[in-house]
Amino acid sequence: MKKFLVYVIVGVVTFTIGYNVNLIYFPDLSPKQPINFSHKIHAGDNSIPCQYCHIYADKSTVSGVPNVQRCIGCHKIIKQDAPEIQKLQGYWDRKETIPWVKVYNLPDFVYFSHKRHVKAGVPCQRCHGDVAKMDRITRQAVLFGIPYARVSPLKMGWCLDCHTNGAKEFIGMQVKNGRDCWTCHK
């Protein structure tokens, strides 16, 4: 019984340390953005399609952060008095870009094309999670209210899950040359 208790205490302590280390040293999972932009309000409640703002997703390798004009286009009418919109108005008046923090960052040696994936019919949610339910964009997946794992690990094995045979359930066919190293590495 005593031994069991020791195990439990050691386990809890280790878990707490590990959990906090994870939160402190891997803060990129849900970085704080300059404006508290809520995807839940935009994509969820008002169901604006992803590509209304991320306009390059099907045209380019990067999906593209919308410029300030695209935000202002709606927000010169909608909810002008909210404090976060005032911040946005400030950027617009100062003619500055908003320094958004990148959440999904791939290493330098990986070639990833949004265009190819969007055109093949891979849903955005497959990699980015259910963005429509996130207030702030996060890579932290939640199970029964407990943070665990990642929305997508962004590891090579995870990419290969689709590139070998898992793609069938999303796009209905196999990825051509999916296992060739130079398909993704550069």
Residues that bind another protein (CB under 8 A): 108-109, 111, 113, 115-116, 119, 177, 180-182, 185-186
On whether the CB atoms of residues 170 and 122 are closer than 8 A, the answer is yes
Instruction: Measure the CA dihedral 104/124/72/30, to 10°.
Output: -30
* For another protein, the closer CB: 80 or 113: 113
DSSP 90-112: HHHHHT----PPPSS---TTB--
* For another protein, the closer CB: 76 or 186: 186
Distance CA 142, CA 120 (A): 28
Q: How far is the CB of 164 from another protein (least distance, A)?
A: 13
Q: How far is the CB of 170 from another protein (least distance, A)?
A: 17
* For another protein, the closer CB: 45 or 180: 180
Q: How far is the CB of 178 from another protein (least distance, A)?
A: 11
Distance CA 111, CA 56 (A): 16
* For another protein, the closer CB: 29 or 171: 171
Q: Which tokens hold the place of 163?
A: 């590139």
* For another protein, the closer CB: 79 or 186: 186
DSSP three-state, residue 186: coil
On whether the CB atoms of residues 137 and 63 are closer than 8 A, the answer is no
Distance CA 75, CA 61 (A): 28
Q: How far is the CB of 20 from another protein (least distance, A)?
A: 31
Q: How far is the CB of 180 from another protein (least distance, A)?
A: 5
Closest CA to 57 of 120, 129, 117: 117
* For another protein, the closer CB: 108 or 169: 108
The single-letter DSSP state of residue 27 is G
Q: How far is the CB of 29 from another protein (least distance, A)?
A: 24
